[in-house]
Structure 1
Amino acid sequence: MLERFFPDEYMASTYVIPFEKLYKEGYRGIIFDIDNTLVPHGAPADERSKKLFHELKSMGYSCCLLSNNQEPRVKMFNEEIGVHYICNAHKPAVKNYRKAMSLMGTNRETTLFVGDQLFTDVWGAKRTGIRNILVRPIHPKEEIQIVLKRYLEKIVLHFYIKEKKKHV
């Protein structure tokens, strides 16, 4: 039952994902969550995130930010990044994952999703049929509703890691 929430992959950080390798595998679009995936909650784009998006665009990727935050937050982050974005996305609903693919000109087979939350980010990507990568949150400071979900995530991740070890 918990398997439905298991990520396709679990990595320490967005910044260690082998994007060049994934591009060679045929991926052309990446949908990103922002807060605690790319920068700490509420932070503007930093040098590391700006560099990442510059490199992704240079490789040939199209990118879209998909956030449950309101437009002022998402627009502020995107000012120096300059990619597609969808705010107030209502993740895990699939509608805006599909809209992101439409904006990027990609499909389920050529799109990746990267986010830090199981029950919104990953669950929405899984429901849409998109390969997903869960990353560890960048910073422990989070809104109370997210803190509460993290306790449940720990349970799911425990069983995910246990299952992965069986297949190694």
Structure 2
Amino acid sequence: MLERFYPNEYLDSVYDIDFEMYYKQGIRGIISDIDNTLVPHGAPATEEIVALFDKIHKLGIDTCLISNNQEPRVEPFAYAVKSKYIFDAHKPSTKNYRKAMELMGTTPKNTLFLGDQIFTDIWGANRAGVQTVMLKKIDKKEEIQIVLKRIPEKFVLWRWRKKLQKTQ
């Protein structure tokens, strides 16, 4: 039952992702959350994240940012990293994951999702059939509704790790 919430991979940072490997595996589109996935909540795009997106694009991978935030937050960030974007996405609804793939011309088989929350980001991407990479949150400071979701999220990740240990 909890499997629907499990990420395919769990890493410390977006900078730990082997994008070349994913490209070789056929990934041609990346859908990503912004806040606490790429930068601290509310922060602008950093030089490092702009350089990372440039590297991803040079590999031949398209990108689309998908956020539950409003356009004034998402549009300037997307502009800075030269990415397509969807704001007010209503994650975990699958509608805008599918829209992101449509914008990039990709399918669930050749799309990767990056996010920091199980019950919005990862669950929505899993339901859309997209491979997922969950990243540790960047900033401890979060809105109360997110803090409350982090409690059951810890249990889900604990179960996921136990399952991984059994299969190894």
TM range (shorter): over 0.9
Equivalence for 2:104: 104
1:84-117 deviations in whole A, cap 9, x for unaligned?
0000000000100000000001011110000000
Aligned residues: 168
- How far residue 79 of structure 1 moved from its aligned partner, in angstroms, is 2.7
Equivalence for 1:37: 37
TM (normalized to structure 2)? 0.98
TM (normalized to structure 1)? 0.98
1:129-161 deviations in whole A, cap 9, x for unaligned?
000111100111111100000011001011111
Equivalence for 2:90: 90
Moved runs in structure 1, 4+ residues, more than 3 A?
A: none
- How far residue 10 of structure 1 moved from its aligned partner, in angstroms, is 0.9
Q: Distance in 1 between matches of 2:77 and 2:115?
A: 16
Q: What are the ranges of 5 or more consecutive residues in structure 1 without an aligned counterpart?
A: none
Counterparts of 1:54-133 in structure 2 under 5 Å?
Answer: 54-133=54-133
Q: What are the ranges of 5 or more consecutive residues in structure 2 without an aligned counterpart?
A: none
Do 2:63 and 2:104's aligned partners in 1 also have CA atoms closer than 8 Å? yes
Equivalence for 2:166: 166
Do 2:4 and 2:127's aligned partners in 1 also have CA atoms closer than 8 Å? no
Equivalence for 2:156: 156
DSSP-derived class of the 1:79 partner: helix
DSSP-derived class of the 2:80 partner: coil
Q: Distance in 2 between matches of 1:47 and 1:161?
A: 33
Q: Percent identity, aligned pairs only?
A: 57
- How far residue 2 of structure 1 moved from its aligned partner, in angstroms, is 1.3
